[in-house]
Structure 1
Amino acid sequence: MTETSSTAPAPDVVDFAAHHEPSWREGVKTGLPSLFGIGAWGLVVGIAMIKSGLTIPQALGMTLTVFAGSAQLAALPLIAAKAPIWVIFATALVVNLRFVIFSALLAPHFSHLPWRQRLALGYVAGDLTVALFLQKYPSETPEVGKLSYLKGLLYPNWASWQIGSIAGIFVGSAVPPEWGLGFAGTLAIICVMIPLMVGRPALCGVLVAGAVSVLAHALPYKLGLLAAVLVGMITAMVIEETSEKWRSKRG
């Protein structure tokens, strides 16, 4: 009896065997322009960790396990202010809630992979890399090259961040404040974020979050940041839902 089609190799086997290198190279090439900004942002976060009072082992542990610059920067002043642990975790959780959305967007593409592999991919996933992947593969339909392309985006991005962050950790105490690296880091993260602010919901969410962060700046334990993120996310979701209802009625 001949073999049935059920024994055909899975898409990822074909992906790795025949299309690994071209798809990987394409992913690396696509993400290459952002690597300098990611490394610069990592450098600033590394310096910030040392300046906030963390020891080198603590800072290294944080950058290797957390891998989320915005959450790290949100948590650092709270740690320095000896804020309650629940405030630190709640702030970091809210700041990183966007990764829940990223996971929901990527899950249909890679739900067939073993959970350990999905966990590893989730760890190295970042804002810009997920956005670039979804631009290339907006459909959930299985395609040869998807996994290799995603890895070509994720791994260099992760390496660029860690190199910059670790460098910042070791040189943090030697860099004079007048160099203004904090401002350079702000410019770097703006360059990374601007391409992600596509569409009315995202733009409105960012503007509202910015306004709330200014108005709530005086709240203790940096809770103004927590409030800004929550209100900004809710604003974006409401506008997105309202826009979809309006489009459906017109259609």
Structure 2
Amino acid sequence: MADDHRSSEERAFDIRKAQLRSCAVFDVTMVPSHRLIVFTVADLINFRLGYSYPSQKYLSNILGLSLRTVRDAGKPLAQYFDVEVVGRAHRYHPRWADIAAKYAAIQSRTAAKPAAVQEPTEAKSAPIIALTAAKPAAVSHETEADFSTIAATSSANSGKIRPLSFYNPTKDPVVLLNAKAGDPDQQRWTFVKSRLSSNVFNRVELIQIWEDEVMLRAPSALLHSRIENEFHSQLAIAWERQLGFPVKIVVLPPMAVAAE
């Protein structure tokens, strides 16, 4: 076999590295960009030295992330590594005992079987049928007046941006044409693009939304630079209006080239 030349120590070392990479992938406490950084630092651990030593600039270049995003990953990296700073260089010494415990916890969590879903019985569903068959109550005059007020207010504000609760993506023709079927995040991205005043974002791809981070990918290096320099604040405002809370925008370049 291709790995027969390796010693038993090297085989054991590769197994521990694989466990560390798995911990990075399944750690739900980290945002996707931090998982990617921890995974890459783990993959670069040297067998003879026993630690990894990529610079922050190298991680930024190879992963297509900003230097600020790499610097913000200090706390997630500290969960798995003892970070030694030598001048301007960083050395990441893995804490193998903690990693083994986290890997065992992940395995026990992924191996757990989901609870069986019980089908509703006829006795339980009978009140529901009776409730749906009941005649709806008549609308009072006060309620009709309230409806008239709401309709008048809605027509007066028709030129303004609608709240998220009133947006129905299934009736938006732009969403029906461009969004991926059944993916609400892609529908949100299509709606955000419709709010932006530039067509720069037509070919920008939404990678994913994770908690307060929105990750996009630009189709070219030129557009990536233009979005970062000219449209970053507009993107953040549009996504905040769409989701209802401030978000961090991460725009990836089309391809990351590793340094030799």
Task: Provide the TM-score with structure 1 as the length reference.
Answer: 0.23
- Identify the structure with the greater helix proportion: 1
Bigger radius of gyration:
2
Q: Which of the pair is proportionally richer in strand?
A: 2
Higher relative contact order (CA 8 A, sep 6+): 1
